[in-house]
Chain A
Amino acid sequence: DAGVTQSPTHLIKTRGQQVTLRCSPISGHKSVSWYQQVLGQGPQFIFQYYEKEERGRGNFPDRFSARQFPNYSSELNVNALLLGDSALYLCASSFNGNTEAFFGQGTRLTVV
């Protein structure tokens, strides 16, 4: 079985641009969560989706948005990119959001 897959693996964007990151959960998992990890720190929670509904969001500005599709895959969108948005973005999949979570390999975003 395929694990959690994220695309793209690396991305370079210019300040002010918009970016879309994608995540496909493990088959049978209905919850996807997004995290931002800056260098030297632990991952920070951004969003959790379960059954296509947003269950909650972390302390991130409205420039960050996400959605979950009927096949449970998810997209994270970031508008008006800032240099400080440069980070590793991680997606986690779990059966219902309260069970063991499995992470993808991440998307490394660099904003120049």
Chain B
Amino acid sequence: GIQVEQSPPDLILQEGANSTLRCNFSDSVNNLQWFHQNPWGQLINLFYIPSGTKQNGRLSATTVATERYSLLYISSSQTTDSGVYFCAVVPSGGFKTIFGAGTRLFVKA
């Protein structure tokens, strides 16, 4: 089955710093989403981005489907950005959503 790898696994930032999270996937996909999981377990939708580039405030994402990767950019990080960021894909021709292992982000004040 498709493999989804996220990097880095852990990231510690000083407030105000920028960061880039990466998601590599091993096969073609229909859908790709980025989520932020807060400390209470809620998965918050960040981007639905099977291809192309999107921006929402300090966050932006780019998916290059032909090269099988997606990037999530966080600019001017804040302590509230702390948590786990997941990339999730649906393989082409399939329906099961496969999650990566996540990137654990801690932003220090």
Contact = CB atoms under 8 A, between A and B. Distances in A.
Interface of A: 33, 35, 37, 41-45, 48, 55-56, 58, 88, 90, 92, 97-103, 105-106, 108
Contacts of B30: 98
B44 to A, nearest CB: 8
A45 B96 contact: yes
Contacts of B100: 42
B90 to A, nearest CB: 7
Helix, strand, loop or mixed for chain B's interface? strand
The number of chain B residues touching the other chain, given as a range, is 20 to 34
A99 to B, nearest CB: 7
Helix, strand, loop or mixed for chain A's interface? strand
A30 to B, nearest CB: 13
A82 to B, nearest CB: 21
Contacts of B102: 42
Interface in B64-106: 86, 88, 90, 95-102
A101 B44 CA distance: 10
B86 A42 contact: yes
- B42, B43, B100 — most chain A CB neighbours (10 Å): B43
B41 interface: yes
A42 B103 CA distance: 10
Contact of B95 (A97, A100, A105): A97
A50 to B, nearest CB: 8
